[in-house]
Structure 1
Amino acid sequence: MSPDETDLSERVPAVPAVDTFAGPDLPPFGEDQLAYDRNEPPLSQRDGIEIRRARVRGHGITTALKQVSQQQTAGTQARDRVSAEAERTAMIDRHPHVVTVLGWSRQPWPWYAMEFLDAGSLAERGDELDVTHRLWAAYALADAVAHAHDRGVGHYDITPENVRFVPTPDGTWDAPKLIDWAGSPEGGVRRHDARSITPKYASPEMRSPADRDRIGVDSDVYQLGVVIYELLTGRLPERGDGRPDQPSRLADVPAAVDEPLRGALARDPRNRLYLRPFRDALRSAFLDAAEGDDGVSRGAARSTANTGSSAGPGESRTSVEAEDRSREAATGTAGERVAESVEPEPVVCPECGHRSASLRPGDICPECKRGYVDSVESDTVTEETALDPSTDPNAWPMYRGGPARSGSTAGTAGPTDGVRTRWHTATDAPVASSPLVVDGTVYVGGDDGSLRALRADTGAEVWRYRTDSRIRSSPAVAGDTVVVGGTDQSVHAVDVDTGEPRWTYDTGFWVLSSPAVADGTVYVGSDDFSVYALDGADGQLLWEFRADGEASASSPAVVDGTVYVACDDGNAYALDANTGAELWRFETDFVIHTTPAVTDGRVYVGSSQNRLYALDAADGSVRWTFDTEGDVHASPAVTDDAVLFGSDDGHVYAADRATGEERWRFPANDWVRSAPTVAGETAYVGSDTGSVYALDVSNGRPRWRHRVGDRVSASPAVADRTVYVGSDTGIHALDSGGT
């Protein structure tokens, strides 16, 4: 709920006080406490899901019970939809204009009970509302969606049928509430199954299979715009390349809503009005109409001020808004990082003895092409070297093993000839965060909003840091600090030993990107289209680079003073690590989800074009490409002579590192969005079947397969001959067990 929501009932008497229509707050209850007549037909029934009127025993409250149909054996899709809808609605954390979930469970079958909304739908009642009631409803719905987005939940099917009213006291307007938050269980607010949309309210990218990867939060803005446009004018906006007619020319509504609505209905999602200024413009238009103003909306000027950015694509920015910073708040100038110049110590290849100060531990030697640079020439071992997996077999300090994101380690091996579950720590929500291992401790995030530290030998919890969001970012350890991102829009830094907070940095939008830490600097992307460089000591902003699309699905790689990152705008970028200045960009015209792997002067990155690219790290030119039959979501792993990666076509591939020719493929029989991890001569990778595979790097033949859960989208970490991986059921440690 926005800060100003509570004062509307005081300013406009027809607006009901929030406490008169907020959903009831009940203690937890089970399915056995719900009473309903099984002989009474359900209120609705479709696709194996039914809604029934039910009472909560002991409370006298009538609810709408949504569950898989008891008249048939529900398929997996129906069960998943009910579970996902309940979980996602509950995640929104109560908003007066979002239906309240009173209770839910997956046992004995997926179900959830929500407040009973019996005053009709917007489709049924829209015509009877006066203009001020319509404007208040429009603002209320926009505020509800903004609240949900702040918690990492998108709707993706906003229609008049999914807006229902709840009765309020006499003399006040009935209050609208948004229902049916099923969205996409797989992609959360980022992706959606385009087959389940309502076409006439869908955004252009939702209706086009070719543009499905462009679906995101801006799709909700478009759908909301269509619903409100129809509510205010009685007709749908015309589709086409031009802008829709101004609503004030079609109906007796304030002209102040014209430009905000037309901005929300821009065909290109990159040009759409952001949600918060859209919401604020609707609120101003409502108050002007309700309080008898002259019809000139205060929101029109405000939305104009907030939709643009003084820092354009490809520019760096350092100043940030202190309060309520969101995607549209993009101001400031390029920052300059001030640091003492330190001459790097040379490192040495253990195979051929080649020395170089430009290489980092974990890089493949450019001379012999065989050895991993794994030691400093002097007897002094730096903190960064001690944490690198190539030198410390008990460490995997950040996503993909280190800042180069190679996904490989020559310093240890995992189980090869047999496998067992050494321990399994169950969680209340899926674990899509990839674990890291340092000094005998496993650090991993979860969809329950927790960052956990677990003992690597037993899985026992050492500490837990809780946030108000999901953590799908993978953490990174730098010295005595753990850094991770969350869907609460923030980057969090906590003490490595205690979990006590050190600092947070608010980016204004979800941080799904996994931080890279190099030379005391934290590099991380955000869904606000920006890549950030933060001081690891205190979280202060060093620079910010604004891309043309979300920068959160891909995580930055840092090698030799250059940051490599890919974004949803279809571009792969190389940035100066000290200033954030763009060095080059490679354009694919397709969404890129993978994290670049950078070794030996090449950048390996995949895209939703079903393709893996090998780029020259110096200028972004293409060395070779490799095509598959599905999107490449899984980040690649690089070995001495091959690049391993997964595809949505259900295969794990190995491409020749020099030529891009296929070496082998392994059929995993489902999407492979878990990034492979190579330890020694074995690659470890998860799949959507819930299995972890160990594959022979030389030929792709399986050494073993071990089922750990319903889905494995996280990347495994390998340390001390153990594989650590997250799944839908928790965190798992797999070892040979002496077999």
Structure 2
Amino acid sequence: MNATKTLQQLGLASLLLAGLGHNVAQTARAASGDYLFSYQVKGENWGGITLRDHTAYFGSDDGHLYALNVEQPKLAWSYKTAGLVRSKPTIKHHQIFFSSDDGYLYALNRWQGKLLWRTSLNDADVQRILPANHAPWEFDYTKSSALVLGNQVFIGSGDGHLYALARNSGEVLWRFKTEGKIRATPAHHQGLVFISSWDGSVYALNKHTGALVWQYETQGALTSSPLIVDNVLVIGSRDTHLYGLDPQNGELLWKQAYPGGSWVESSATAAADGEHFYIGSSDSNLLNKFHARSGALTWQFETGGWSWGQPVVKNGTVYIGATGHDEPGWFETQRGFFALDSQTGEQQWQYQPKMIDGFVHGGVYGAPAVGYGKVIVPDLDGYIHVFEE
């Protein structure tokens, strides 16, 4: 199937007017890519979705973290913070962790949404420079998410530090200072924790002490999160290059230039074979599949828009969103969300997100969640849209 759908064609407007229960619109279940229902919140959805036990956990620019039962569908609970919630929630047993632009890392009971603890990340006063059609060209729209390893929680902060905290108390165990904001999410491999910073460097740290093991410098800010695939650390840079590094010593294994001087905003996702990975772009409007050991390109797919987010791969399908912007005569970009065959890059289905007000005029940035026969998509239009897997 190579279907293109809009939410209007899927009947969202009429379904919403029908008033089907607490901001939920619903229709009959059918084939892959068919629209099932939507849930509305009061802000744009820039954060990724975490799915567990038939519940989708996600944050919104309205300052809440939400727990949405996707089978009912109905809201299980919500938790209010004092800032944008753009981090993807991380779950460990009964705990769920997320950060907010109010400057705190939160740990909640994931079943009731009750606060267990919160710890300051000292970045409430960091001013975001959101995407715009004027200088400075320092788009700052994302947020670090937590990495949980045993009894430690690792998360980056806009104050330039990577924090290591005790999982059960929130006590700061150590912190490591970089020379720029940290919006990326840390990764782990063989006793090392890796993080990237707006100072242009990738850092490898001892996970127990925070001691620096190695540092690799690129020539641009790093918003891309590190990922280890087939013993290669993959990271993208705003210097328009994608890098493959040796995770043990930081040695450069390969380097790929992106076409058209495109930033590499997206973070990589490993393919099921453990040898390839998928990663998006910015101005080149592409989703790419690469071989991890060699850096060789396997295939490309034109998304038509800024594919800043992290792809998601499940059951032979790779999912990626695209955002559009309003700047006539510049790089033309289109809103979109795509489901592709992970082996060939052939489109299986897509939908076109609604237009919203602003320079970024809509689309999908946050990573969707796939499970229980559903594809759950965080849209900038203020809805969570759910499709048949």
The verdict on a shared fold, with TM-score over 0.5 as the criterion, is yes
One of 472, 479, 492 as aligned partner of 2:46: 472
- Give the Cα–Cα distance (whole angstroms) in 2 for the partners of residues 468 and 568 of structure 1: 25
1:693 matched to which residue of 2? 288
> Kindly tell me: are residues 517 and 589 of structure 1, through their superposed partners in 2, closer, same or farther at Cα, counting changes over 3 Å?
same
> Kindly tell me: are residues 454 and 642 of structure 1, through their superposed partners in 2, closer, same or farther at Cα, counting changes over 3 Å?
farther
1:526 matched to which residue of 2? 100
Matched-pair contact (CA < 8 Å) for 2:56–2:70: yes
Matched-pair contact (CA < 8 Å) for 2:226–2:268: yes
- Give the Cα–Cα distance (whole angstroms) in 2 for the partners of residues 577 and 454 of structure 1: 42
One of 111, 126, 131 as aligned partner of 1:537: 111
2:15 matched to which residue of 1? none
Amino acid at match of 2:276: T
- Give the Cα–Cα distance (whole angstroms) in 2 for the partners of residues 589 and 459 of structure 1: 44
| Secondary structure of 1:612's aligned partner | strand
| Secondary structure of 2:310's aligned partner | coil
- Give the Cα–Cα distance (whole angstroms) in 1 for the partners of residues 192 and 26 of structure 2: 34
| Secondary structure of 2:216's aligned partner | strand
Amino acid at match of 2:338: H
- Give the Cα–Cα distance (whole angstroms) in 2 for the partners of residues 640 and 665 of structure 1: 16
2:308 matched to which residue of 1? 713
1:722 matched to which residue of 2? 317
One of 168, 171, 176 as aligned partner of 1:578: 168
Structure 1 position 673 matched with structure 2 position 265: yes
Matched-pair contact (CA < 8 Å) for 1:591–1:607: yes
Matched-pair contact (CA < 8 Å) for 2:300–2:345: no
1:606 matched to which residue of 2? 196
- Give the Cα–Cα distance (whole angstroms) in 1 for the partners of residues 307 and 84 of structure 2: 22
| Secondary structure of 1:666's aligned partner | strand
Deviation, 1:662, is 0.5
| Secondary structure of 1:695's aligned partner | strand
Deviation, 1:704, is 1.0
- Give the Cα–Cα distance (whole angstroms) in 2 for the partners of residues 559 and 578 of structure 1: 12
- Give the Cα–Cα distance (whole angstroms) in 2 for the partners of residues 454 and 586 of structure 1: 51
One of 645, 656, 659 as aligned partner of 2:246: 656
Deviation, 1:460, is 1.4
Deviation, 1:467, is 0.6
- Give the Cα–Cα distance (whole angstroms) in 2 for the partners of residues 603 and 685 of structure 1: 21
Deviation, 1:468, is 1.1
What runs of 5+ residues in structure 1 fail to find an aligned partner? 1-420, 429-448
Structure 1 position 733 matched with structure 2 position 339: yes
Task: Report the TM-score, using the length of structure 2 for normalisation.
Answer: 0.72
Listed one character per residue, the Cα deviations across residues 344-399 of structure 1 (whole Å, up to 9, x for unaligned) are xxxxxxxxxxxxxxxxxxxxxxxxxxxxxxxxxxxxxxxxxxxxxxxxxxxxxxxx
- Give the Cα–Cα distance (whole angstroms) in 1 for the partners of residues 224 and 189 of structure 2: 17
Deviation, 1:589, is 3.1
- Give the Cα–Cα distance (whole angstroms) in 2 for the partners of residues 453 and 681 of structure 1: 39
> Kindly tell me: are residues 427 and 549 of structure 1, through their superposed partners in 2, closer, same or farther at Cα, counting changes over 3 Å?
farther
Deviation, 1:496, is 2.5
Listed one character per residue, the Cα deviations across residues 193-221 of structure 1 (whole Å, up to 9, x for unaligned) are xxxxxxxxxxxxxxxxxxxxxxxxxxxxx
- Structure showing the higher helix proportion among its residues: 1
Matched-pair contact (CA < 8 Å) for 1:426–1:731: no
Deviation, 1:520, is 1.9
Matched-pair contact (CA < 8 Å) for 1:427–1:730: no
- Give the Cα–Cα distance (whole angstroms) in 1 for the partners of residues 25 and 77 of structure 2: 15
Deviation, 1:598, is 2.0
Structure 1 position 683 matched with structure 2 position 277: yes
Deviation, 1:455, is 8.2
Deviation, 1:481, is 1.3
Listed one character per residue, the Cα deviations across residues 447-466 of structure 1 (whole Å, up to 9, x for unaligned) are xx999999896221222110
Counterparts of residues 546-557 of structure 1 (less than 5 Å): 546-550=120-124, 553-557=143-147
Counterparts of residues 361-380 of structure 1 (less than 5 Å): none
Matched-pair contact (CA < 8 Å) for 2:90–2:148: yes
Deviation, 1:653, is 0.6
- Give the Cα–Cα distance (whole angstroms) in 1 for the partners of residues 44 and 99 of structure 2: 16
Deviation, 1:683, is 1.2
1:594 matched to which residue of 2? 184
> Kindly tell me: are residues 596 and 452 of structure 1, through their superposed partners in 2, closer, same or farther at Cα, counting changes over 3 Å?
farther
Structure 1 position 515 matched with structure 2 position 83: no
Report percent identity of matched pairs: 30
Matched-pair contact (CA < 8 Å) for 1:422–1:733: no
Deviation, 1:484, is 0.2
Bigger relative contact order, structure 1 or 2 (CA pairs below 8 A, ≥6 apart): 2
Cα-Cα RMSD: 2.5
Moved more, 728-737 or 453-462: 453-462
2:206 matched to which residue of 1? 616
| Secondary structure of 1:591's aligned partner | coil
Matched-pair contact (CA < 8 Å) for 1:725–1:731: yes
> Kindly tell me: are residues 498 and 708 of structure 1, through their superposed partners in 2, closer, same or farther at Cα, counting changes over 3 Å?
farther
Amino acid at match of 2:307: V
Deviation, 1:477, is 1.1
> Kindly tell me: are residues 453 and 661 of structure 1, through their superposed partners in 2, closer, same or farther at Cα, counting changes over 3 Å?
farther
| Secondary structure of 2:102's aligned partner | coil
Matched-pair contact (CA < 8 Å) for 1:683–1:696: yes
- Give the Cα–Cα distance (whole angstroms) in 1 for the partners of residues 255 and 291 of structure 2: 11
Deviation, 1:645, is 0.9
Structure 1 position 647 matched with structure 2 position 237: yes
Counterparts of residues 316-331 of structure 1 (less than 5 Å): none
Listed one character per residue, the Cα deviations across residues 491-517 of structure 1 (whole Å, up to 9, x for unaligned) are 011102233111000011110111001
Counterparts of residues 27-38 of structure 1 (less than 5 Å): none
Task: Report the TM-score, using the length of structure 1 for normalisation.
Answer: 0.39
- Give the Cα–Cα distance (whole angstroms) in 2 for the partners of residues 455 and 507 of structure 1: 35
Counterparts of residues 325-344 of structure 1 (less than 5 Å): none
Count of aligned positions? 299
2:352 matched to which residue of 1? none
- Give the Cα–Cα distance (whole angstroms) in 2 for the partners of residues 422 and 618 of structure 1: 49
Amino acid at match of 1:719: K
Counterparts of residues 326-405 of structure 1 (less than 5 Å): none
> Kindly tell me: are residues 534 and 641 of structure 1, through their superposed partners in 2, closer, same or farther at Cα, counting changes over 3 Å?
same
- Give the Cα–Cα distance (whole angstroms) in 2 for the partners of residues 519 and 725 of structure 1: 28
